[in-house]
Structures are given as structure tokens and as C-alpha cells.
Amino acid sequence: RHYILFHSIMVGGSVSKEKHRTSDAASNREMLFPKPKSTKSTSSKGRSTTKKNSLRENNASATEEAKSITDSLLRTKSMMKQELERVSEVSQAIDSDGQILNEATTEHKGLDNVVKNARGVLGVLKRQDMQDSVVLW
């Protein structure tokens, strides 16, 4: 029973995530490429428009589509600019962290030499202490 319940929760969760991901992609697509409005019209007598009106409609439709594409490109440009700024900030943060790490490495190497020298001096002091203790006995 627990396996079935767990499985249904896991499958339901992944389906929910997939639906959410799909809806996000669809909303982004709609934001970038909105559907053009229909401009088709008919005459008052209920029949098709004349050739001139048809050409005007085609031109109006093409103009509207061009405007839609232009708007979409402007939105894309804005999104790309924001993403570029974000990536630039991340790059600066990485460079800054790299400099900090290099400074820490240099300091660590310097302290390593100090520790080695201190060990040598401590060894000398221990030997001197042993010699002094032997002399005092």
C-alpha cells in the first residue's frame, strides 16, 4: 500500500512539475510572440471585399504583423539585456572570489613557512632543554 501511495505521489508530482514547466514555456512564448488580431472584414452586403479592400487588408495585416514582430524583438532585446547584466554581475562576483582565493592561498603559503620555521626552532629548544636537564641531574 505504501509503495502505491508513494508511487502515485511521485508520479503526480512529476506530472505537476511538467505541466508547470510547459505552462511557463507557453506563457513565455505568448509574451514574445502574441497572436495577431484578425482584421478581416466584409462589406455591408455580406459578400467579400473588393480587390482594393483586399489589398488594403493584406497591407494592414502585414503592417500589424510587422509591428507584432518588432514588439517581440524589442521584448527579446530587453530580456537579453537583463540576462547579460545578470551574467556580467555573476562574472564580476566570480572574479572577485577568485582574487580572494588567490590572496588566501598566498597567505597560507606564507604561514606554512612560518610554521616550518617554528617547528625547527621548537626542536632546537627541546634539544637544549634535554641537554640542560641532563646537566642538572
- Per DSSP, 35 falls in state P
25 vs 23: CA distance, rounded Å:
5
Per-residue pLDDT of the chain (137 residues; tens, 9 = 90+): 444 544 454 555 444 555 555 676 677 666 666 665 554 444 444 445 576 677 777 777 888 888 999 999 999 999 999 999 999 999 999 999 999 999 999 999 888 888 999 999 999 999 998 888 887 76
Residue pair 31/75 in contact by the 8 Å Cβ criterion: yes
pLDDT at 60: 79
Residue pair 70/34 in contact by the 8 Å Cβ criterion: no
15 vs 11: CA distance, rounded Å:
6
Residue 134, CA distances (Å) to 18, 86, 126 in order: 81, 71, 12
